[in-house]
Amino acid sequence: MERPYVMTVSGPVEPEALGSVLMHEHLLCDLTAPARRGSGEPEVEITLENHFDVNYSPGEHLGNHRLHDRDLAVRECELFRKSGGGTIVEMTTGGIGPDLDGLVEISRRSGVHVVASAGFYTEDFQDPTTLELSVEAMTEIMIGEVLHGARGTSVRCGIIGEIGCSWPLTPFERRSLQAGAKTQRATGASITVHPGRHPQAPHEILDILDAAGADLSRVIIDHMDRTYECEDAEVVGLARRGCVVEYDFFGIEVSKYWMGVADLPNDWMRLRAVRRLLDAGLGDRVVLAHDICTRARLQTLGGHGYGHLLRNVVPLMRERGFAETEIERLFVHTPRRLLTIG
């Protein structure tokens, strides 16, 4: 029997080699709204003078949601490693510009493990051919991405998703979830899901995945920060269904949410929500990240960077009474469990 492993873009590694893990980030992606792609507008140049405005209203500045500079990504990963980080789970799926060869280069040059993601983002970002794919066709693609190589490369993915979902859920997105469940059953990889922006969306997603035979203990529901707007009890109820919940907007402390209207928490409020999950006995069902997908959040360009959780939030956790064993569970043990295959 094959020994348990974590599949990184550089190949399988021992689970113990991961170190501290960020479970939801983007290193190379293009989340530019489809309607603005190819518009010919100039991309924003981030300066000291405009950084606050770009970060405060990230969707209004063309180019801010396009991460394609490998050298810049290497620098950011090096800063993450210097902050004590070991592994980044890169969530760029089909439709938002995945670059597998780029991830290999970034991992090699920075010394940070990178785990790539299989599957498809939300319907709005897909081309007509992709939108016509059946469950069986999507399953075949996802299994291939995990077991053989993704998007025309030999680079294997180590997690399924982020599977993109809207509210209401579209038929394509429902098929994508069903394919994700089938892929999990065939490969053993965990599933991570970007839910629609409605409190019932995560529950509908879990119902679909459960009906399709997914192991909910290896399903992560992302973006608690904007889905429940500080309604901690709702997140506890979701975690009690057996899935893992993810607070992944750490470092976002502005009042304007670029994808709609939402009252986002700040970092200490996120920690208060995590504390409630720990006190409810659900400490093994929560993971953390920043979901960096804009240039303005990169440390090199004046933002908090991928090291923010380890550099700034962990000391905040200690100030608020988190035990070292709890911190290690959040950054090491639960991610290791979710990323280990076999």
Each residue's pLDDT tens digit, 175-229: 999 999 999 999 999 999 999 999 999 999 999 999 999 999 999 999 999 999 8
Q: Kindly report, residue by residue over 102-114, the tens digit of the pLDDT.
A: 999 999 999 999 9
In order of their start, the domains of the chain are 6-339 (3.20.20.140)
Residue 71 has a CB neighbour count (10 Å cut-off) of 11
Give the 3-state secondary structure percentages of the chain, helix then strand then coil, rounded to 5. 45, 15, 40
Percent of the chain with pLDDT over 90: 93
CA angle 211, 212, 216 (to 5 degrees): 80
Identity (one letter) of the amino acid at 16? E
Q: Kindly report, residue by residue over 273-311, the tens digit of the pLDDT.
A: 999 999 999 999 999 999 999 999 999 999 999 999 999
Q: Residue 1's pLDDT band (boundaries 50, 70, 90)?
A: very low
Distance between CA atoms of residues 148 and 304, nearest Å: 35
Q: Kindly report, residue by residue over 229-283, the tens digit of the pLDDT.
A: 878 999 999 999 999 999 999 999 998 887 778 889 999 999 999 999 999 999 9
CB of 158 within 8 A of CB of 150?
Answer: no
Q: Residue 17's pLDDT band (boundaries 50, 70, 90)?
A: very high
pLDDT attached to residue 140: 98
Any idea of the CA torsion for 144, 223, 260, 34, to the nearest 10 degrees?
Answer: -20
Mean model confidence pLDDT for the chain: 97
Token pair for 12: 């399988």
DSSP secondary structure letters along 171-183 = HHHHHHHHHHHHH
Token pair for 177: 């979830």
* 2 compared with 159, residue with greater pLDDT: 159
Cis peptide before 315 (omega within 30 of 0): no
In the block, which residue shows the tokens 């979701």? 238
pLDDT attached to residue 241: 98
Distance between CA atoms of residues 319 and 124, nearest Å: 42
| Residue 151 in this model has a pLDDT that exceeds 70 | yes
